[in-house]
Amino acid sequence: KMAEKQEEPSNTQNGEPDNAEEGEEKKKKLKREDLPPFEIVTGERLPAIFFKFQFRNVEYSSGRNKTFLCYVVETQGKESVTSRGYLEDEHAAAHAEMAFFNTILPKCDSSLRYNITWYVSSSPCVTCADRITEALKKNKNLRLTIMVGRLFMWEEPEMQAALKKMKSAGCKLRIMKPQDFEYVWQNFVEQEEGEEAKAFVPWEDIQENFQYYEEKLAEIL
């Protein structure tokens, strides 16, 4: 009943006859129409191969031009609700950070408090950083912590300025430690079915890279 109800407005708009066998088609159509024009891949867990490649905290990240964003949203109202998932950007037209605000959290209810943690393969670009700053200024009930694997273009003055603005808007920016990568591995990466969950195997230079970026971030902020 609920589902039918929700679909009605869109049928009348499209002037489609309301036939039962079209229900499935309509659902597909509805889903497609709800999505923004760019293609954002969402899901609960990302393939291990993506994680191992995209989240590596190496300095030279050639080929790593996608952003993978794993999120945990804790909504505190009368009852606390936690949701999690991940986003990746398929096309350069829009980045996962933007997609989060467009699709996962398009509206903030001012009577609720949102504690949000992102685990992102690299820090946001200038445009996304500005969008994050705006969202935090507009929604005082939003707390955002961003854990990043790498710093993106951190030598650029405008990038440094954008990160500083994010900080002053209340965003906590942190570099992912080995434990954070492990947390993502356990909570956001697909485990092979039928096998016991494989332990996270840190890559060789994970600790040095973390320290390197942490120093850079401290200098910037």
Secondary structure class of 161 (helix, strand, coil): helix
Secondary structure class of 119 (helix, strand, coil): strand
The answer to whether 194 touches 165, Cβ cutoff 8 Å, is no
Angle between helices 2-14 and 23-34 (to 10 degrees): 80
Q: What angle do CA 205, 210, 215 make, to 5 degrees?
A: 130
Q: CA–CA separation, 180 vs 11, rounded Å?
A: 46
Radius of gyration of the chain (CA): 20
Q: Which of 7, 33, 97, 208 is catalytic?
A: 97
List of E strands, the chain: 40-43, 68-76, 80-89, 113-122, 142-150, 172-175
Q: Could you confirm whether 97 is annotated as catalytic?
A: yes
Catalytic residues: 97
